[in-house]
Structure 1
Amino acid sequence: MGATAVAIPYVLFVWWFSTGTVLLLVGAPSRHGVLLKAGATVLFVAALSGLAVSSQVHTAAGAYCVFTCAILLWGAVEISLLAGWITGPRPEACPRDCGAAERVWFALQATAYHEFVLIATAGLVFAVTAGAPNQLGWWTFAAMLVLRQSAKINLFLGVRTLNDELLPAQVDFLKSYFARKPINALFPFSVSVATAAAAWLAMVAAEAESGFEALSCALLAMLVALGALEHWFMMLPMPVVDLWRWSVRAQKPVVPTSEPPLRPLLAVIPGGAAAERPATKNPGALAKQRLEDQFRQAYRASKAANATD
């Protein structure tokens, strides 16, 4: 019973801390890219190996270990997407003038490689845990796969709160595939199924005959409940970013532009009227300023020519 009582706070901490750690790592400076790739690769191999070994242990410790390994494996795959390494054959923003069918096709192309990696990883998890007495690792990874796909489709169809400030700059183009709507037709079904699944798992955990079964179902129930909560985050006006403020703060570096700012025509003329005014960053205002300066210059030249005549 003690091991089951720890399940709720443990899953809460792992969910919160692992999400923040992934966001913190992918937001690191680009000079650490090689180190991050090496670390993600080692994490993937270690987590998959841990799944294979701990799935043979039918104890409370084995349940916690295999559950944690599944979370770490998922995190390693998510790093490959959020860092921009594995996205799709078209890692570009969605054109604004495309139709509904084209938008679906472009969205599939934007993350196709990553989706393939997720499915292949799920196959590896199934292969290394097949026939093992501890199947919690497989069910954990499968639950995260289904919940994440549901969240992605809901973001594509349209939700009230996008929470896209959590996306790193490397995959900023994904924001163009999100839609902002009060609600979409899939959302009630998605959140209802996730909530029902969490409730059913909690009931099974309460009625389980063995401690291992109770703990496994409790861990899964809490994970699925958090997946349902993440769906609600897309509909409720809540500042979700505050949950991971410690990790996303480093993701918003100011990238200096390599091009010099445009200046009005008279800014390059000694004593010109525009020399004392700072250049505006608004393209429309800048173009208007250039036209006004050119008009003043032409007017002064015309007056000088008339005075000479």
Structure 2
Amino acid sequence: MIVWGASLVALFTWWFATGLILLVIRAADRTGGNAYNRAVFLSVPVLALGVAGVILSISNTGMTGLYQGFFGALAIWGWIELSFLSGVITGPERAVASRNAPRTDRFWKAWDALAYHEIMLLVGMAFIVIVTTGSDNTIAMWTYAILFFARISAKLNLFFGVPRINFEFLPLPLQHLKTHMTKGPITAFFPLSVTVLSFATACFAQLLITADTQVEATGFALLTSLCALALLEHWFMVIPLPDAKLWRWMLPAQKRITAKEETHGL
């Protein structure tokens, strides 16, 4: 029962946190002006709580410490994602990309469009690794690591090519990123990605099955579920499932994008 509860916690947190971030960004899209900067600034306490949760978790190997580390890592990750989706921390490149440019040039243009965000993700990873090194409670590190590597994999697949991309959830400040994504047949990188994620999910599931204590079982249940959700998100880029409906119903209508904005980016 505890294991199933942990899996439901991971599933609900994934759904709710994603929807909440999209809701904040959609509201900023409709308000305009400094709404994006305000959203990031007013959410700094979430980042602070995440940092505190990770720090507190390293000395607590019980169930409380487990959830402190898990939610702490998610809070840090969530704030960095909010700062990216708001267009506040992205990269120096804001122009649209040329489809006719060589792939290598397009790759570096895409990197320039995301550079500051990627550096922030690395800083978050470095902080959690340093804090949790030597601790018996490393769930914060594994939680962040799953999110980090799955997100890098997803971004590379979006660049190389996937059949399905939910452009409707792309905020106004990031409309130029459409030109860095490729909607088309998958490449060899996609099966490699899902194979690695499937293997990681199976490894965590095996550790869950062989766990000696309820705390260990709960921790591996959280990590298994999170890894499985990352795998599911990859399949959403290929299989024609109405995944956008998971959040669309809770979001206000998006501000319409003018032809000028679509052409020149924001």
TM above 0.5, one fold? yes
Q: Is the 8 A contact 1:21 1:247 kept in 2?
A: no
Q: Which among 164, 170, 182 is matched to residue 167 of structure 2?
A: 164
Amino acid at match of 1:84: G
Q: Give the drift of 1:234.
A: 0.3
Please give the secondary structure, in 1, of the residue aligned with 2:249: helix
Question: Is 1:100 matched with 2:103?
Answer: yes
Quickly say closer, same or farther: Cα 1:11–1:113, change in 2 above 3 A. Answer: same
Residues of 2 paired with 1:220 and 1:257: CA distance? 43
Question: Is 1:18 matched with 2:21?
Answer: no
Residues of 2 paired with 1:165 and 1:249: CA distance? 12
Q: Give the drift of 1:34.
A: 4.5
Residues of 2 paired with 1:32 and 1:176: CA distance? 25
Q: Give the drift of 1:35.
A: 3.3
Please give the secondary structure, in 1, of the residue aligned with 2:43: helix
Residues 98-136 of structure 1: per-residue CA shift (max 9 Å, x gap): 121211110111101110110011111112222222100
Residues of 2 paired with 1:242 and 1:249: CA distance? 13
Q: Is the 8 A contact 1:163 1:240 kept in 2?
A: no
Amino acid at match of 1:127: I
Amino acid at match of 1:18: A
- Aligned partner of 2:152 in structure 1 is 149
Q: Give the drift of 1:227.
A: 0.4
Is the deviation greater in 19-28 or in 126-135?
126-135
Gap runs ≥5 in structure 2: 261-266
Q: Which among 226, 230, 255 is matched to residue 253 of structure 1?
A: 255
Please give the secondary structure, in 2, of the residue aligned with 1:27: helix
Q: What pairs with 1:1-309 in structure 2 (closer than 5 Å)?
A: 2-28=1-27, 29-30=31-32, 32-250=35-253, 252-254=254-256
Quickly say closer, same or farther: Cα 1:256–1:227, change in 2 above 3 A. Answer: closer
Residues 180-223 of structure 1: per-residue CA shift (max 9 Å, x gap): 22221111111111112111211111111122211111110100
Please give the secondary structure, in 2, of the residue aligned with 1:150: helix
Is the deviation greater in 141-150 or in 161-170?
161-170
Please give the secondary structure, in 1, of the residue aligned with 2:42: helix
Residues of 1 paired with 2:223 and 2:94: CA distance? 34
Gap runs ≥5 in structure 1: 259-309
Q: Is the 8 A contact 2:166 2:244 kept in 1?
A: yes
Q: Is the 8 A contact 1:24 1:247 kept in 2?
A: yes
Residues of 2 paired with 1:235 and 1:175: CA distance? 17
Residues of 2 paired with 1:148 and 1:114: CA distance? 12
Quickly say closer, same or farther: Cα 1:34–1:86, change in 2 above 3 A. Answer: closer
Q: Is the 8 A contact 1:44 1:72 kept in 2?
A: yes
Higher RCO (CA < 8 A, seq sep 6+)? 2
Residues of 2 paired with 1:201 and 1:116: CA distance? 28
Q: CA RMSD in A?
A: 1.7
Q: Is the 8 A contact 1:91 1:111 kept in 2?
A: no
Residues of 1 paired with 2:188 and 2:242: CA distance? 24
Q: Is the 8 A contact 2:205 2:221 kept in 1?
A: yes
Residues of 2 paired with 1:183 and 1:255: CA distance? 28
Residues of 2 paired with 1:255 and 1:205: CA distance? 47
Q: Percent of counterpart pairs with the same letter?
A: 36
Please give the secondary structure, in 2, of the residue aligned with 1:181: coil
Amino acid at match of 1:181: G
Residues of 1 paired with 2:97 and 2:151: CA distance? 21
Q: Give the drift of 1:256.
A: 7.5
